[in-house]
Structure 1
Amino acid sequence: MFVGRSQELAVLEEAYAMDSFQMVVVYGRRRVGKSTLLRRFTDNKPDVRFFQARETSASENLRALSAVVLGQDENGQTPPAYPTFEAALENMFSYADDHRLVFVIDEYPYLAQSYPGISSLLQNLIDRCKNSSHMMLVLCGSSMSFMEHRVLGSKSPLYGRRTAQLKVKPFDAFDSAAMLAPADAVRSVELYSLVGGVPLYLEQLDGSRSTEWNLANRILGLSRYLYAEPENYLSQEVRTPALYNAVISSLAHGCTRPVDIKNDIGLSSSAVAGYLKSLEELGVIERIAPVGDANRKHARYRICDCLFLAHFSLAARHAELVERGMERQAAERIVQRDLSTYVGHIFEDVSRQWLLRQMTSGDVPVLPLEVGRWWGTDPRRHETVDVDVAAIGLDGELVAGECKWEAKPAGSDVLGTLASRAELVRKDASRTILYLFSKSGFTDECKADALRRGNVRLVTADEMFGR
């Protein structure tokens, strides 16, 4: 099933329509659907060469590239390989002088690893041929560090040659819901909170079955793909996965500052900083700060990949049951004891995603400078408080929201608390809009209070998902 990616496809189609040389860099973490996106884009193109580089020797990659360039003859035979990468690529560029050609090199870091001179070779060919070429060259890769530093970075031979770039990100909760159909809004949020928006992970789930069933039959269990994926993913991306696991585990247990992680696992400050930077580049964690607060000392780290978060918090607590083959019992305990609180935190992310979508579409008439959350000290109560959803608009507006993932409807007390805390975020806001997001709706008293205040919007989970 192909869902979403309308913006990414639009960028690719715009580049293709120019009918001049284009170099588009497409990158993103593994399993996020980059190759699927490019296959979709090239489906209706008349002249496409798609080369899938492999983690192998230069000679093997040259042989595979030659087969893509030369194709098969009239007898169905593939001609002998080119003697060099330069000869193979010169053939492609020469052909593109007279043909609109899409040439995709997928997993470009593997090619560069096997033949380090490939970027310089492409640079020379691009500089020599770009004015006459009709090639749309697409370089695609999963190694985030390589693509950002050695393809897009200023020290790369290819620096300045790209005409467009796409960082393909995981789906938000709403595109994910399309892959989880026929799940209702509540189950969509629950399942999204367990695996996030990586398409390959979503494909493992069954939206027609309960969250507990999916936990027992799709996520927990030593033989399950999703259970082993966090450690497998790290093993592919880093050299010392055990230490990265320790950092992620520390974050999952509530250590959100580098100094807390350092004290928790006994590593040096510089080592912790390095691990955090790498995990951030991999999209496993993110650095967050209170909206409107430029003080770096107030920043925190959090696990933003839902599969990693579920694995290191929910699954880790029940590892002994899972190892004994008692996935059903582990899933039952998670649903009964932990799931509501866990999903409540992810519901905050979902609410922010919804708000940003509403702003993008114009349904919320605010142009956002920042969208995130806020925390700080309430001087009136001398305690630390937070605001689940906070956005500052281009014209000084403030949007503040509270999220409730509970079985009972949200009451007017929640609205009163939100209104009080919003004043702490930005006292000089040109306009303040309050949002309450609730799994189970709102009490009549809360609805009446919202109507009286006039600047309040009440949003249920069903409304967010168009149900």
Structure 2
Amino acid sequence: MFVGRQSELESLETAYQKGSFQFAVVYGRRRVGKTSLLRAFTQDKPSVIFFTGQQTVASENLALLSREMLGNSAAGAAFPSIQVALESVFERAKAEQVILVIDEYPYLAESDPGVSSCLQTLIDRHKDKSNLFLVLCGSSMSFMEHQVLGHQSPLYGRRTMQLRIDPFVVFDVAQMLPDAPIERIIELYSVVGGMPLYLSQLDSTRSTQWNLEHALLRQDAFLYAEPQNYLLQEVRSPAIYNGVIAAIANGCVRPKEIADVTRLATPQVARLLDALIDLRIVERVTPVAKATKRQVVYRICDNLFRFWYRFVPQYTGTIEEGLGAAVAARIVKRDLSSFVGPTFEEVCRQWLIRQVVEGELDVLPKAIGSWWGTNPATRHQEEIDIVLEDADGELVVGECKWRNEPVDTDVLETLERRSALLGRPIKQYYLFSKGGFSEACQNRATQASSARLVGLEQLL
């Protein structure tokens, strides 16, 4: 089932309709749905060559490319070189519009290091006369950003468009889980995130506990092995990366704290964190609107990794004894609510951005995130779940409560008090609640025109 990616499809289609030479760079993490997007884009086009680079020698990639270009009847490598094969595509595209997709381009470039320079020469020579729609697609984020898009690449400056494919936001997740109620959608999103392949492993008609047991907490489950397999594919020393991710999952959010737990040198931890950021597993976070240099923290931004490293290591023996059902039941009973809380905050931020896009919230976002800091009067740490900074300096602030009890007026009053610490004008206050709102809170919000209450049914 193909869902979402409408803006990406529209961008590709708009470029295709120009009928001139186009060079699109499409990149994103493994499992994010790049190939599915390109298959959807090319499915109704008359002339398409869809080649997937393999992690093999250049001669084998040449043979595979030849078969894609000439049909399965082509014996071996019908072209003497990849350069000649690509030259023929550019020539063919002078007479008709041709789409050439090279998926997993880093594998092709690894087997034939001269292919980027070859493409540069062909583009410069033929772009004014060719109707080729060239797509280079890859999962190696660092390679695509530095060796294709970067200024040191022979291809620098040749692209006509680039698309970084990110995981689904919660609204797309809801389309992939059509039979799940809103609460379960958010719970499952908090567990596996927005990767389409991960979501396809779930059963939206079943409970969160059932999905934990069958899709994650079994030795034969695809998602059980996925974080470890992903690291094995992407890094040379998975063990030290495991240690860093586990430290963050268990509350160590600063390099010095991670170094103390892992017994790695702080400079080494800094390099590992940079690599994990490139892999979109970890993110560097600072408070919005009023931050200091000391307030930098690191968080796991991939929900599957956050869940896996939070729970699986401590229950590995139990799971491997076949007791995944008992582990799932314990997690749901004891830990799930607090685990979902940070994801619920992110869902609410996504909803606010959608309100902006749809014209329901009149701001121009400069940044969105959270805020934390010390109250100078009480010397206690204070937090605000959502802070959206407008380009004009005004703020939209919000508090998110993932609990069954209705939110009362004290939550709004606390939000108003904490917001005063930011020293900026507040355009709008938002309260988001899983359990709804007390009558007193609703009356208080009605009286204050700048306060708005949002329940689950309004989010999705």
The 2-side partners of 1:414 and 1:254 are apart by 25
| Cα separation, 2, equivalents of 1:318 and 1:434 | 41
Q: Which amino acid aligns with 2:457?
A: D
Map Cα deviations across residues 161-213 of structure 1 (whole Å, 9 max, x no partner).
01100000000111111101110100000001000000000000001000001
* Deviation at residue 373 of structure 1 after TM alignment: 0.7
Other-structure match for 2:116: 119
Kindly tell me: are residues 27 and 77 of structure 1, through their superposed partners in 2, closer, same or farther at Cα, counting changes over 3 Å? Answer: closer
Partner of 1:448: 443
Q: Name the TM-score, length of structure 2 as normaliser.
A: 0.98
Offset of 1:316 from its aligned partner?
2.8
Structure-to-structure mapping, 1:195-274, within 5 angstroms: 195-274=192-271
CA distance in structure 2 between the partners assigned to 1:110 and 1:131 by the alignment: 29
Identify the residue that residue 433 of structure 1 maps to in structure 2.
Answer: 428
Partner of 1:373: 370
> Is the CA contact 1:27–1:168 (under 8 Å) kept in the aligned structure 2?
yes
1:296 CA drift (Å)? 3.6
1:25 partnered with 2:20: no
Name the structure 2 match of 1:9.
Answer: 9
**Equivalences, count:** 460
CA distance in 2, matches of 1:12, 1:397: 36
Distance 1:158 1:296, change over 3 A: farther
Match of 2:333 among 336, 342, 359: 336
Structure 2 counterpart of 1:386, one-letter code = E
SS class of match (1:90) = helix
Q: Is the 8 A contact 1:70 1:79 kept in 2?
A: no
> TM-score scaled by structure 1?
0.97
Aligned equivalents of 2:146, 2:170: Cα separation in 1:
30
Kindly indicate whether the alpha-carbon contact (under 8 Å) linking 2:59 and 2:77 is maintained by their aligned counterparts in 1.
no
Please report how far the alpha carbon of residue 269 of structure 1 lies from its aligned counterpart in structure 2 after TM superposition.
1.8
Letter in 1 for 2:26: V
Which residue in 2 is equivalent to 1:286? 283
Which stretches of structure 1, 4 residues or longer, exceed 4 Å deviation after superposition?
Answer: 76-80
CA distance in 2, matches of 1:294, 1:115: 47
2:60 corresponds in structure 1 to: 60
Q: Distance in 1 between matches of 2:438 and 2:178?
A: 29
Would you say the 8 A contact 1:62–1:85 is kept in 2? yes
Q: Distance in 2 between matches of 1:294 and 1:373?
A: 10
Equivalent residues of 1:314, 1:338 under 8 A apart: no
1:434 Cα deviation after fit: 0.5
The 5 Å alignment of 1:291-310 reads: 291-293=288-290, 295-310=292-307
- Structure 1 residue identity aligned to 2:13: E
Distance 1:124 1:255 in 2: 49
3-state SS of paired residue (2:413): helix
1:23, 1:164 within 8 Å by CA — same for their partners in 2? yes
Q: Deviations over 1:99-155 (max 9, x none)?
A: 111110000000001000000000000011111111110000000010001000110
CA drift at 1:377 = 1.0
Aligned-partner SS, 2:29: coil
Unaligned runs of 5+ in 1: none
1:110 and 2:119 are equivalent in the alignment: no
SS in 1 for 2:280: coil
SS of the counterpart of 2:95?
A: coil
For 2:334 and 2:122, locate their aligned partners in 1 and report how far apart those are by CA, in whole Å. Answer: 61
- Partner residue of 1:175? 172
Q: C-alpha displacement at 1:20, in angstroms? A: 1.2
CA-atom RMSD in angstroms = 1.2
Displacement of 1:317 after TM fit?
3.1
Q: Which residue number in structure 2 is paired with residue 188 of structure 1?
A: 185
The CA deviation string for residues 224-271 of structure 1, in whole angstroms up to 9 with x for no partner, is: 110110000000000000100000000011111111111111111221
Q: How does 1:385-404 map to 2 (within 5 A)?
A: 385-404=382-401
Per-residue deviation, 1:77 = 5.4
The 8 Å contact of residues 71 and 78 in structure 1, kept in 2 or not, is answered as: no
Q: Given that residues 100 and 136 in structure 1 are in contact (C-alpha distance below 8 angstroms), is that contact kept between their aligned partners in structure 2?
A: yes
User: Does the Cα contact within 8 Å between 1:97 and 1:133 map onto a contact in 2?
Assistant: yes
Kindly tell me: are residues 49 and 296 of structure 1, through their superposed partners in 2, closer, same or farther at Cα, counting changes over 3 Å?
A: farther
Q: Which residue of the partner structure matches residue 354 of structure 1? A: 351
Q: Is the 8 A contact 2:395 2:427 kept in 1?
A: yes
Identity %, equivalent residues: 51
- List per-residue Cα deviations over 1:62-81 (Å, max 9, x = no partner): 00111122236xxx555852
Residue aligning to 2:413: 416
Given that 1:403 and 1:437 are in contact with CA atoms closer than 8 Å, whether structure 2 keeps it comes out as yes
The DSSP-based 3-state class of the residue aligned with 2:202 is: coil
CA distance in 2, matches of 1:294, 1:143: 32
Amino acid at match of 1:361: E
